[in-house]
Amino acid sequence: MIHVLIVEDEKPIARLIELNLTDAGYRTTVCHNGLAAAELLTRESFDLILLDIMLPGLDGYELLESIKPTGTPVIFLTARGSVSDRVAGLRAGADDYLTKPFEIVELLARVESVLRRAGREEEKYEIGDVTILPRSRQVTRAGKPVILTQKEFTLLLLFVRNRNIALFRDTIYERVWQGELEEESRTVDLHVQRLRRKLGWQDKLVTVYKVGYRLED
What pLDDT, in 10s, does the model give residues 159-203? Answer: 998 889 999 999 999 888 877 777 667 899 999 999 999 999 999
Query: What's the CA gap between 99 and 125, in Å, rounded?
Result: 32
**Considering the chain, what percentage of its residues have pLDDT values greater than 70?**
96
What's the mean per-residue pLDDT of the chain? 88
CATH 3.40.50.2300 fits 3-117, yes or no: yes
Mean pLDDT of 50-58: 90
For the chain, give the longest Cα–Cα distance.
Answer: 72
Query: What's the CA gap between 194 and 199, in Å, rounded?
Result: 8
Segments of the chain assigned to CATH 1.10.10.10: 125-215
Q: Which CATH code fits 125-215?
A: 1.10.10.10
Segments of the chain assigned to CATH 3.40.50.2300: 3-117
Mean pLDDT of 52-60: 89
**Considering the chain, what percentage of its residues have pLDDT values greater than 90?**
46
Q: How many CB atoms lie within 10 A of CB 190?
A: 9
Secondary structure class of 115 (helix, strand, coil) = helix
Query: What's the CA gap between 164 and 85, in Å, rounded?
Result: 51
Helix H or strand E segment including 214: strand 212-215
Per-residue pLDDT tens for 107-165?
Answer: 988 898 898 888 776 678 899 999 998 767 889 999 999 999 989 999 998 999 888 99
Query: What's the CA gap between 39 and 114, in Å, rounded?
Result: 24
pLDDT band of 11, cuts 50, 70, 90: very high
Residue 195 contacts residue 152 (beta carbons within 8 Å): yes
